[in-house]
A and B are shown apart, each in its own frame.
Chain A
Amino acid sequence: MFWDKKIECMEREEIKELQLVKLQNTVKYAFDKIPYYHKKYSEYEVFPEDIQSLEDIEKLPFTTKDDLRQVYPFGMFAVSTDEIIEIHSSSGTTGKPVISGYTKKDIDNWSEILARGLTEWGVSSNDIVQNTNGYGLFTGGLGIHYGAQKIGATVVPISTGQTRRQIELMNDFESTCLIVTPSYGLYMGEVAKEEGFNLKDFGLNVIGFGSEAWTEEMRKRLEETFGVPAYNIYGLTEMMGPGVGVECSKQNGLHIAEDYYYPEIIDSSSGKHLPEGTHGELVLTNIEREGMPVIRFRTKDITALDYNPCDCGRTFCRMERITGRTDDMIKVKGVAVFPSQIEKALLKISEIEPHYQVIVSRPGNLDEIEVKVETAPELFSDDVRELMNIRNKIADHIKNEVGIKVKVTLVEPKTIPRSTAKAVRVIDKRNLH
C-alpha cells in the first residue's frame, strides 16, 4: 500500500532534481535566517550560490551534536518562537540536551512521513495503533502519534510501562498495530505469557519498532512472540524524530524519505564521501524544514545505502539496519549511554578516576549494564557496610547521569584489562552487530 505513490515511486532523476532545489533553498534559508550557519559558512567561505549540484553539498561543513548543544536552547531555530508550535529534546544525557523545534508545517511534514511509513505496513484508518513509545519530550511517542492520526487510525496513546495494563487493553481493544522498542516488545511477550495470554490470539496485524539497536534474530523473536511481521523505524531527534527511514514489507532496508532528507555516507575519519553501497557514517540534511533545518548532521550511526529500486515499487533509497556507532555510545533500553557519563559519575565519588569497564548484556530480553569499578585505595574501606554504601553511591550517581539503573561491581585493582592505545571501556555482549 502507498500513502503517496507519486512521490514514493519517483524516478531517480526526478528525486535528484527535487532534492537539488530543496537543498539549495535550505542552504540559502539557513544562511539567511540562522546566525550559526551564517557565521560558519562565512568562515569556510562557502555560500548558498556554491551549491550547483547535489555533489556540492560536500563543500559545506558538517554539523555535530556539539554544535547543536552550543546554541542551546533555541539557537538553531530559523523562525521566532511565535511560529514554533512544539519542542522536543534529546535525553540530554551527555550534557545539555539538543532541542528540536517544529512549526505547524514541520509537524504536518513529520506526520506525512510517518503516514507513509505506517501505510507501507498496511496500517490504515481501520486500524487501532497502540503506541507504547514514551510520550513527552521524546520524539518517539508523539511522532508516531501524529502519523497514525494523519492516516485516520485510532491511536491508543498508552506510552511506556504499565505492562499488564498494556496487555489487557491490547486484548480488549483488539489493537491491530503495536509500536514498541524491541526489548520492550519481548518483555511484553514474557509478561503476557505469565498472565496466561497467547498473544497470537490477539487481533494484532503488525509491529513497528525502533529507538534501539536490534538484530534479525531479535526481529524473528518479536515476530514469533506476536505472530505478526515487525518493521523497523529509524530517526533521531535532531532531524525531527522517527521516520527518517522506515522499512517496507520487503524487510530489506529502510526507505529514507528522500524528499525530506538528503542522506550521505562518509568515511568518519576523513569526512569524505564513500562509494555507493559502502558502509560508513550516515550524514543527514533536512531539505524541507522550517523551524530548524539541520544541514549535514553527523549521526555517528554506521550503515550503507542501496539506491536500487525496491521490490515493493518504492524508489527512495534504502538504508541498512544500523550496525554500529562511530563513538562509544551504547543504546540501552532505548537510552543513549556514553562512557563519559560513567566517568563523570565516578569522579563524584573519588578525585582520582578509578579504572572501570562497562559491560552490556541481555540475559533475558532486557538489557543490563554492569559497571565494574576497580577498588582503588581511595574507595576502599575496612567496613563491609561502608563498601556496600560506596557501591550503592556509585550506582546512584551513574543512575543520575545516565537515567537508568546499573549494576555496580567492585573488583580488585589491575583486574580490568588495559590496552596501550584506547582503553576498551565498553563490552557489548548483546551481539548486535
Chain B
Amino acid sequence: MEKVKQLSIFLTNQKGKLYNVLNILKENNINIRALSLTDTSEFGILRLIVDCPDKGKELLEKNNYTIKISSAIAVELSDTPGGLSSVLKILNDNNINLDYIYAFTHEYSDKAILFLSTHDLDLLITVLKENSIEIVPSDEIYNL
C-alpha cells in the first residue's frame, strides 16, 4: 500500500487546542510519526501520521473532534542538500501541483521521509514510480 493514512483534524486557532489533541493521543499510547499544522487566523488543520490511525480517529471523535482520514504518499530521499528539490523538480516537470508537503527524518538511517499530497494521488504515485523515486509503504511508516 502506497497511500499512508493521515488524520486531518479541525482546530480553532486558540491557545491549548493543539495540546489537548496531543494529550489525548499520549494518554492512549498513540505515537506520532510526523505532524504538520496549517493555520489561518481563525482555524487550522492539524495533520498527523500516527502508528494506528483508525484507533486515533475513533478516540478523537469520541472527544468531539472533527476528523477526516485522508491519504498522503511517503517518499524516501537522502538527507543531503538538494534531496527535496530533486523530487520537486520531477513533480514540476510533470505538472503536479502539491496541496501540501511535510518532512521528517528518523534515527534509523540517514534518509528523510517526505509526505506529499495532491489532488490526484494515483497520478502522483505513477509519476514517482516512473522516475524511480522510492515510495515508502504505509505499513513501514506506521511501524517506524
Q: Which residues of A contact B (CB under 8 A)?
A: 375-377, 379-384, 387-388, 409-415
Contacts and interface: CB of A to CB of B under 8 A. Distances in A.
Contact of A412 (B66, B68, B70): B66
Interface string B46-79: 0100000000000000001111101000000000
Most chain A beta-carbon contacts within 10 A, residue among B45, B66, B99: B66
B12 A411 contact: yes
Contacts of B67: 377, 380
A382 B12 contact: no
A38 to B, nearest CB: 55
B40 A412 contact: no
A199 B47 CA distance: 55
Given A375-B66, A382-B70, A410-B43, 19 more contacts: A377-B67, A379-B66, A380-B10, A382-B8, A382-B47, A384-B40, A387-B45, A388-B40, A410-B10, A410-B12, A410-B42, A411-B12, A412-B10, A412-B12, A412-B66, A413-B64, A413-B66, A414-B64, A415-B12
Nearest to B72: A382
Contacts of A375: 10, 43, 66
A377 B42 CA distance: 18
Contacts of B40: 384, 388
Nearest to B11: A412
Contacts of A379: 66
A383 B6 CA distance: 13
A380 B40 CA distance: 15
B126 interface: no
Contacts of B66: 375-377, 379-380, 412-413
A259 to B, nearest CB: 55
Nearest to A374: B66
Given A410-B10, A415-B12, A382 B65 contact: no
Contact of B68 (A377, A409, A414): A377
Nearest to B17: A412
B36 to A, nearest CB: 11
Nearest to B99: A383
A379 B67 CA distance: 11
B38 interface: yes
Contacts of A415: 12
23 contacts: A375-B10, A376-B66, A377-B66, A377-B68, A380-B8, A380-B10, A380-B66, A382-B8, A382-B45, A382-B68, A382-B70, A384-B45, A387-B10, A388-B40, A410-B12, A410-B43, A411-B12, A412-B10, A412-B11, A412-B66, A413-B65, A414-B64, A415-B12
B64 A384 contact: no
A301 to B, nearest CB: 36
Contacts of B42: 409-410
Interface residues of B, number: 18
Contacts of A384: 38, 40, 45
A413 B60 CA distance: 12
Contacts of B43: 375, 387, 410-411
B69 to A, nearest CB: 9
A281 B12 CA distance: 41
A381 B38 contact: no
Interface in B107-140: none
Given A380-B10, A382-B8, A412 B45 contact: no
Contacts of A412: 10-12, 17, 64-66
Contacts of B65: 412-413
Nearest to B63: A414
A375 B10 CA distance: 8
Nearest to A377: B66
B48 to A, nearest CB: 12
B91 to A, nearest CB: 18
B12 A381 contact: no
B11 A380 contact: no
A380 B65 CA distance: 11
Contacts of A382: 8, 45, 47, 68, 70
A387 B65 CA distance: 16
Contacts of B11: 412
A409 B40 CA distance: 12
A377 B17 CA distance: 18
B105 to A, nearest CB: 24
B128 to A, nearest CB: 20
A91 B38 CA distance: 41
Interface in B8-43: 8, 10-12, 17, 38, 40, 42-43
A379 B68 CA distance: 11
Contacts of A380: 8, 10, 66-68
Most chain B beta-carbon contacts within 10 A, residue among A379, A387, A409, A412: A412
Most chain A beta-carbon contacts within 10 A, residue among B42, B68, B70: B42
B115 to A, nearest CB: 13
